[in-house]
Chain A
Amino acid sequence: MTTATANTFTAKAGWRTRLADNERLLWPLMLAPAILYIVLLVGFPFFLSLFYSVSDVTVGSRSMSFVGLENFRRVVATDTFWTALKNTLIFTIVSQVFVLVFANILAMSLSADFRGKWLVRLLILLPWVAPISLGAIGWLWIYDSIYSVINWTGQALRLLGPNEWPIWLGQPTLAMVSIIIVQIWRIVPLATVILLAGLTSIPQDIHDAAAVDGAGFWRRTLQITFPLLLPITLVAVLFGIIFTFTDMIVVFLLTRGGPYDQTQVLATWAFFTGIQGGDLAGGAAVSLFLFPVLVAVAIVFLLLARRSEVT
C-alpha cells in the first residue's frame, strides 16, 4: 500500500518529495547525524585512547612517538596499579553482592500495595536521581573525622565505647568500607526499580495457581519469582557492574584514593596519572584496563537481547 501511494506521488513531484517518500534513502538519512556524532565523539576518542596508550604523549607535548607497550609495562610495574586493580574488583564485587540482596528485598516489599507508596518510592530513589557528586559530598560530612553523626549515634547507643571514634575515611580498611557503602547506597535504587519492573511483569495467575497447589511464600519465591526474574536480575547486575567498575566519582570525592593510595581504583588512578599528572599516555594505558569488563557486559547484553527477540 505504501509503495503504491509513493509511486503516484513521485510521478508528478520533484526530488524533495521523492526523497521524503523513499524509505531506502530516508532511514539512512535520518540515522546519519546521530551515528556520525557518536562515531566522532565516542568512536574517535576511543581509538585515540588506544593510540595514546602506545605513545609518549603528555599534556603539553606537541609531538609524540610510538613506544609500543612501554606504557603498559611502566604502569604494571607500579604497586599502585595493582592496589587499584584489586580495589576496583573488591569495590565492584562486594558492593554488587549487597546491591543484589538489598534490591531484591526492597523490590519485593515495594511490589505490595500500601498507603504512601509514592512517597516511599520518591525517598528511596533519591540517591540515584540526585547528582552523585553532591550525594558524595553529603557522605563526606557524615563521615567527617570530628563531627561524624555515625560516631555520635554509635556512642549514644553505647555501640561504640567512650574512647572509640573511628576515622571513617582515614584508615585504609574503614575507608574502603566507607566508599563501598556509598556505592551500595547509590546503586540500590536503580537495581530496585529494575527488579520492581520485573516483579510486576510476572502474572498474578501463576502465583495464585501455585498457592492453590499448596506452595507457601518461600517456595513461591524460590521456585517461581526468582527463576522468572533471572533475566531482569541480570540486567540490573550488568548496569550495577558498569556503573561501579568504571566509576571514579565516589572514590575521587571521598578519599582521593587515600590514605596512601590504599583506596585508589583504576578510574581515579587514570585521572591522577593522566589529567593531574599530565601523563596522558600512562593514564590512557590505565583506563584501558576498564575495557575488557565493558566488552564482557556488552556481549551479555547482546545475548540477552537476542534471547528476548526469539521468545
Chain B
Amino acid sequence: MNSGEMKFLVIGVVLALGAASIPIVSDGYWLSIATTAMMYIALSTSWTLFSGPTHLIALSTGAFFGIGGYLVGSGMSDYDQSFWLMAIIAPVVATILAMLIGLATLRLSGVYFVIFTLGLAEMIRNLVSWVQNNFLGSRGLYVLTDFTEAHIYWMLLSVATIVFLAGWLINRSRLGFALRIIGNDEQVARHVGINTAWSKVILFMTTGFFAALVGAIVAPRYSYIEPNVVFSPQLSFLVVIMALLGGIHRLWGPLVGVIPFTLIWEAISISFPNSTTLFLGLSFLLIVYFIPNGFVGLFENLTGRMRK
C-alpha cells in the first residue's frame, strides 16, 4: 500500500466514524435526511462500479431496489418470515436476475442498453403489481419491525462502507482494469484476452446485489410497501443524476454528488411537491450540459491548471 492509498484510507475511516456519529448528535429531521443521503450514497456508488468504467448507463436500479423492498414486504407480510432472512434472500434473487439481464443485454451498447434497462425495470414493476393484485389478494404489504431510523441509518452506512471497500478492491484488481479497457475500446479488450461478456456481467451483478440489499434495509422505513412505489423509476434516474453530478470516473465521485443533491432535492420536494419530475429533468439537463465530468472533473481540472 503506498502513501496515497494510506491517506485515502485514513480519510475514509475518519469520514465513516464521523458519519456513524450523526444519529448521536441528531434525531428527527436531519437524521432522516442523512438516512436518505446514505441510501443514495450506497446506491450511486455501487451503480458507478459498473456504469463508470463501461459508460453503459443502466436505468435498472429501481428494479433491483424494488426487489429488495418487495421481497422483504412479501416475505414478512404474507409468509411470516423474519426480516433478516428476507434481507439475505432478496439480494441473492436480484443478483441472479442481474446475471440473466446482463447475459441478455451483452450485445447491446449505447442507447439500446439504456432503453432496455428502463423498459425492463418498468416490466418488472408492472408484472409484480399484476401478480400482487390478481393472485396474492392484497395490494400493499406491511413491514413492521422494531428498527428506529438510527438502526436503518447504521445498516445503510455499513453497506455503503462495504461498497467502497468492494470498489477499492475491484479497482486494484485485474477485473477493474479489464472494465476500464472495455470502456476505452471493447474490440481491443477482446483481442488482449479479456472475456468482455463475463467481466461486464459480474460487475452488473454486484450492482444489482447492493441495490437490492439497500432496498431490503430501507423497507422498514416505509412500513407499508406497494409495488408501484418501491419499483420506482424515479429512483433509477435519481441515482444516475447524483452519480453524474459527483463524477463517475472516481470511486468517491458519487459521494460528493449525493450530499448536495439530497439537500436540494429535499428543498424542491417541500417547496414544489407537484413538480418534482420537472425539476428532475431540469437538473439532468443542467448537469449533463455544464458539468459533464461532475464535481470531481471540475476539481481535477482546477488542480491540474494550478499545477501548470
Are A and B physically bound partners?
no
